[in-house]
Amino acid sequence: MNNFTYSIPTKIHFGKGQIAHLSELRESGEKVLLVYGGGSIKKAGIYDTAMKILKDAGLCVSELSGVEPNPRIESVVKGVGICKEENIDMVLAIGGGSVIDCGKVIAAGACSEEDPWELVLHPEKITAALPIYSVLTLAATGSEMDKFAVISDLKKNEKWGTASEHMKPKMSIMDPEYTYSVSKKQTAAGTADMISHIFENYFTNVSNADVQARFAEGLLKNCFYYGPVALEHPDDYDARANLMWTSSMAINGILSDGAEVAWCVHPMEHELSAFYDITHGEGLAILTPHWMEFALNEATAKKFADYGRNVWNLPMAEDDMETARKAINCTKEFFKDMGLPSTLREVGIDETYFDVMAEKAAAGCKGSYVELTKEDIVHIYENAL
């Protein structure tokens, strides 16, 4: 295991009715910028509840609405403008990962003279941020408890992740009931996203990081069990609660600290979203089994077999390579059963940009579990077609 410093400043209020804690925003000042998406929070009544609590607490609320899935830099720029003009004290994002990511970079941009896109391209330029609060409404990205934000400039076909300790939320409210209204498509995509985050951390070259590995296997089992339950019964509290807490645990450092490895399926997927604006979790579900098939070899078979035995309960007696193949197949079948697409064509992608996407993704994959060249990535895209 590598050395690490584990630090999560985010206070989590988890469970039914925890939105009452929004009154605590008062500790960061008076003026809040409320950031939200295309209206799901209004339909679900979360907006009205939040506004009442904020007003009763004496907070003054400005709003930025309409943040897009795969949030655009234009929304960030708009939010930064409001913060600066109105001397905003803090940012409150209510929504899924897109809204929270947008809120995070707004909070950083409000404390900077840099062009906000520079903060996306050069995380080291983020030197401060307004306090960030979130109310999570979709279990997927883990943005509610991590330092990352992913922003797109679709005019340039660019989608990049930035990261900063300053962007870790100060407080996040996680009420599983708020995810009852999430569509089947987004529930499946969100589950695929957290599964992918776990895999990206699990397949590491750091040896003997067993706490992280066993924890990852437990979280995977949880996704494979509760994902289908949430699809079938959207208002099953236990399913939504267990998925929601898994989304945070998958990416808040518990699995990665001490077992660091560069991610590779995510850089490959971010290019698909940058060029075709697809749903992140769907792209991951398409690419993951093909990445696994590519990464499986004599050296990695043991790890894939561990995954098969410990997560899918495959028999201990069979040899590693056979078990590994079965485990990959279980993964593929799971995504299919969740109604997720399994080919790029299903989401409107053909080979037109494979070369340029692979070139950009390869830069992000340096230091991954199995090294990927640009040609390897083109090969994976072709297999996923």
Contacts with ligand NZQ, residue ranges (CB under 6 A): 37-41, 44, 69-70, 95-99, 101, 137-138, 140-143, 146, 148-150, 178-179, 181-182, 186, 190, 193, 251, 266, 280-281
What distance in Å separates the CA atoms of residue 278 and residue 84, rounded to the nearest whole number?
Answer: 32
Q: Which is nearer to Zn ion, 89 or 193 (CB)?
A: 193
Binds 181, which of ligand NZQ, Zn ion, none (CB < 5 to 8 A, cut-off by type)?
ligand NZQ
Q: Which is nearer to ligand NZQ, 112 or 181 (CB)?
A: 181
Closest CA to 303 of 194, 204, 222: 204
> Is 193 near Zn ion (CB under 5 A)?
yes
Q: Which is nearer to ligand NZQ, 37 or 308 (CB)?
A: 37
> Is 146 near Zn ion (CB under 5 A)?
no
Residues contacting 352, CB < 8 A, separation 6+: none
For residue 150, the SS3 value is: strand
> With CB under 5 A as the contact rule, which of the stretches 112-120, 191-199, 326-334, 377-385 interacts with Zn ion?
191-199
DSSP 257: T
DSSP 262: B
Q: What is 53-87 written as a DSSP string?
A: HHHHTT-EEEEE--PPSS-BHHHHHHHHHHHHHTT
Q: Are 195 and 202 spatial neighbours (Cβ–Cβ below 8 Å)?
A: no
φ, ψ dihedrals at 36, nearest 5°: -150, 175
Binds 47, which of Zn ion, ligand NZQ, none (CB < 5 to 8 A, cut-off by type)?
none
What distance in Å separates the CA atoms of residue 100 and residue 117, rounded to the nearest whole number?
Answer: 17
> Is 282 near Zn ion (CB under 5 A)?
no
> With CB under 5 A as the contact rule, which of the stretches 83-91, 120-128, 189-197, 271-279 interacts with Zn ion?
189-197
CB of 360 to Zn ion, least distance (A): 17
At 173, the amino acid letter reads I
Binds 49, which of Zn ion, ligand NZQ, none (CB < 5 to 8 A, cut-off by type)?
none
Q: Which is nearer to ligand NZQ, 174 or 296 (CB)?
A: 174
At 231, the amino acid letter reads L
Q: Which is nearer to ligand NZQ, 212 or 273 (CB)?
A: 273
